[in-house]
Structures are given as C-alpha cells and as structure tokens.
Structure 1
Amino acid sequence: MEFIWFLLIGAVSGWLAGQVWKGAGFGLIGNIVVGILGSIVGGWLAGNLGIGGEGLLGRILISAGGAWLLLFIISLVKKA
C-alpha cells in the first residue's frame, strides 16, 4: 500500500510542478517520474533545512517544490 501512495504522491506533485513550470502536465508516466525524482530532491533539501512535511499535503508540497527545482536545474543545463 505504501508503494501506491508513493506513486500517487509522485503523480500529483509532478502534475503540480508541470502546471507551475510549463502550464501543463507531462502525462501520467512523466508526472510520476518527475514527482518521484522531485520528492527525492525536495525531501533531501527539506531535511537539510529542517523543514518537516507533515501529512499528505506537506509531502505533496515538498515533492512538488523539489520537482519544480529539478525542472529549473534541467532547463539551465539545457540552455548551456
């Protein structure tokens, strides 16, 4: 059951990051991949800053923030 929640949080946070970044999502698989990678980045960053993601909404926001940061970094690398 944990794995299903992990995928759902990844899909939602990837979709949110896609909405903020380019105005549209990346499709179901793309949203899950971006969201999962974003949750890793966001969780690492939040842990180092001492920010805790309490509850479902907190986890989604941290994951979406990490996904957005990941997309921002990728866009900088692509421009270079």
Structure 2
Amino acid sequence: MFILWWILVGLIAGFITGKLMQGTGYGAIMDIVVGIVGAVAGGFIMRAAGFADQGGLLYTILVAVIGAVLLTLLLRLVTRRSSTV
C-alpha cells in the first residue's frame, strides 16, 4: 500500500510539475518517476529545514511538487549542457 501511495503522489506531483514548467515534459511514465524522486528529494529538503511531517496529503503533494520542480530544473541543466558539447 505504501508503494501505491508514492506512485499516486508521484503521479500528481509529476502532472502538476509538467503544467508549471515550460516545455514538452518527459512523457507520462517519466513524469511519474520525476514526481516520485522529487517527492523523496523534497522530503529530505523539508526535513533538513525542520518541516518534517507537518501535514497530510496536501503537504505531501506540495513537498513533492517542490522537489519535482527542482529536479526538473536540474535535469534540464544537465541535458542542455550535454547536448551542446
């Protein structure tokens, strides 16, 4: 059930991130993966900032979106540089 929760949050975060960021995105599966990895990264960032476990579903989705947006920015920086080399 825990895996299903992460997939659901990743799906929502990936969808929202795809709408917030300009560009074509990475496709449905990669948006979910970016959302899941972003949720984990956002969780680490918020925990390090002292905001761990402050809310329910809305907080989790917000943290996942923040992490996914940051991850998308990093991915775009890496792929942009590697394509120009």
User: Aligning the two structures, in what range does the TM-score lie when normalised by the shorter sequence?
Assistant: 0.7 to 0.9
Structure 1 residue runs of 4+, over 4 Å off?
Answer: 23-26
Paired residues, number = 80
**1:10-30 residue CA offsets vs partner (Å, 9 max, x unmatched):** 100011111111266644312
Residues in 2 aligned to 1:25 and 1:55: alpha-carbon distance in whole angstroms: 28
Equivalent residues in 2 for 1:41-80 (5 A)?
41-52=41-52, 53-80=54-81
The TM-score normalised by the length of structure 1 is: 0.85
Unpaired runs of 5+ in structure 2?
none
Q: Give the structure with the higher percent helix.
A: 1
The TM-score normalised by the length of structure 2 is: 0.81
Percent of residue pairs bearing the same amino acid type: 38
Structure possessing the higher radius of gyration over alpha carbons: 2
Residues in 1 aligned to 2:42 and 2:63: alpha-carbon distance in whole angstroms: 5
Unpaired runs of 5+ in structure 1?
none
What is the root-mean-square deviation in Å for CA atoms of aligned residues?
A: 1.8
